[in-house]
Amino acid sequence: MTEKLFGTDGIRGVANKYPISCEIALKIGRAAGLIVKKNGNKSIVIGKDTRESGDMLESALVSGIVSTGINAKIAGIIPTPGVAYLATNYNDTGAGIVISASHNPYQDNGIKIFNGQGQKLDESDQDFIENFIHNDEEFSGTDALGKISIIENANIQYADFLKSTFNFNLIKKRIKIIIDCSNGAAFNTVPKVFEDKYFETKIIFNKPDGRNINRNCGSQFTQVLSEKVVKAGFDIGLGLDGDADRLITIDEKGNVVTGDKILAICSKFLKEQGTLENNTVVSTIMSNVGLIKFLKESGIKHKITDVGDINVIKEMKKYHAIIGGEDSGHLIFSKYHTTGDGILSGLRLIEVMAVKDQPLSELAKVMKTYPQVLMNVKVDKSKPDFMKIKEISEKIKQIETKLGENGRVLIRYSGTQPLLRVMIEGPDKGNTEDYCKEICEEIKTYI
């Protein structure tokens, strides 16, 4: 059986070690080139975030691509959703490849691939790439090599697309906004979107050095952003992650507004505007109980899927929904884009603030957030079925009994890291943390 390399968000690991090595990247480039050639296209767009390992992986991917006779168009440092957009913007392009490990530390990197429609690869293409990585002896090259070109204005094209989704006439007074770029891929795009005419903008963590991406900043670490919002009186703070496909926001009082609340705010607004197609919102099993209750009380149909924006998008297509996402900040507005986009999500939220002429703190009252505790336990790659381990399953059932209908326990393996994620929701923060620790200790003992 071929080793499974693709997780919920591409292939990811420690840079310069298997599977994120230049040798594997070369094979991925070749496999992607063969897929594109089979589909009758001629080129692949490549973008990356600011990690120091990006250049190495880019070079290997490009070599693999052109060895199949497919052209490589290099976009440079650009957000992941920017690559998805560019993949759809050229008639001869059959794929977009992003070199990024998203919110992970700089030591990690990853490779995620979009097809020519700006959507993540389906399982059959993933299987082809994995099989090719392990069995590529039959590849004998091609006489007609591909060419390498640079997309000089990639960030401008992407920024213009983002601005085209927003009606700037809605803004009656300049909005004070502070944006944390996480020293990542958005540092060059953000200033092109949030122009002075409509926004009084301050940008922080926008000086990447190859190693400071996501370091105590961005969507994972919002403390600095929150402090600056309050101190300088900003209307909203936007916290992006390293590749800018997720967003966490800060209201004018310094409170964190996560993906679930953004989904609640925007779905309520769309329903009020009569534009919530099929009256449906999609979220994952990690969504807060508060979102579930809000949607039910609002008469909005709610579809729940497994973790990962690729799963959210599949469910959105199935039920013809135009909004969906994860509490982590991966939000999809399919009327505008094919994938999660942190900057675009920020624009959608600002649109609601402008039309309703309400501060974000007021809009965020739309749903009550139940205390949620998430802890990670490091595990080996074998990932055993923890529910078959008697001591662990009994501990879980014991906690579930204590919580009753006022909470829940959710335990799952990470799709991108060797971690077992333990999430508990309950009415009391202290008890919820204690319950989470109890289960984690049991897992550490037996796994």
In the predicted model, is pLDDT for residue 1 greater than 90?
Answer: no
- The dihedral built from the CA positions of residue 232, 234, 236 and 239, taken in this order, carries a sign that is negative
Quickly tell me which residue has 């929150």 as its tokens.
Answer: 226
In the predicted model, is pLDDT for residue 322 greater than 80?
Answer: yes
Q: What is the third-level CATH fold of 11-152?
A: Alpha-D-Glucose-1,6-Bisphosphate; Chain A, domain 3 (3.40.120)
Average pLDDT over residues 375-399: 90
Given 43, 100, 102, 226, the catalytic residue: 102
182 is catalytic: no
Buried b (16+ CB within 10 A) or exposed e, 160-174: ebbeebbeeeebeee
Task: List Cβ neighbours of 251 (8 Å cut-off, separation of 6 or more).
Answer: 229, 236, 257, 359, 360, 361, 364
pLDDT value of residue 422: 94
Task: List Cβ neighbours of 431 (8 Å cut-off, separation of 6 or more).
Answer: none
Structure confidence by residue, pLDDT tens digits, 420-446: 999 999 888 899 999 999 999 999 998
pLDDT value of residue 241: 98
Query: Do residues 340 and 81 make contact, with C-beta atoms less than 8 angstroms apart?
Result: yes
In the predicted model, is pLDDT for residue 349 greater than 70?
Answer: yes
Planar angle of CA 264, 422, 333, nearest 5 degrees: 25
Task: List Cβ neighbours of 48 (8 Å cut-off, separation of 6 or more).
Answer: 54, 57, 58, 76, 77, 78, 98, 99, 100, 185
Structure confidence by residue, pLDDT tens digits, 30-63: 999 999 999 999 999 999 999 999 999 999 999 9
Domain range 372-446, its CATH number among 3.40.50.880, 3.30.565.60, 3.30.310.50, 3.40.50.2000: 3.30.310.50
Cα(240)–Cα(176) distance, rounded to whole angstroms?
Answer: 17
pLDDT value of residue 408: 86
Fold equal for 154-369 and 372-446:
no
Reported as a pLDDT band with limits 50, 70 and 90, residue 384 is: confident
Reported as a pLDDT band with limits 50, 70 and 90, residue 417 is: confident
Reported as a pLDDT band with limits 50, 70 and 90, residue 146 is: very high
pLDDT value of residue 383: 81
AA identity, residue 364: A
Residue spans per domain, the chain: 11-152, 154-369, 372-446
Identify the CATH number of the domain defined by range 154-369: 3.40.120.10
Query: Kind of pairing, strands 247-250 and 256-257?
Result: antiparallel
Query: Do residues 81 and 347 make contact, with C-beta atoms less than 8 angstroms apart?
Result: no
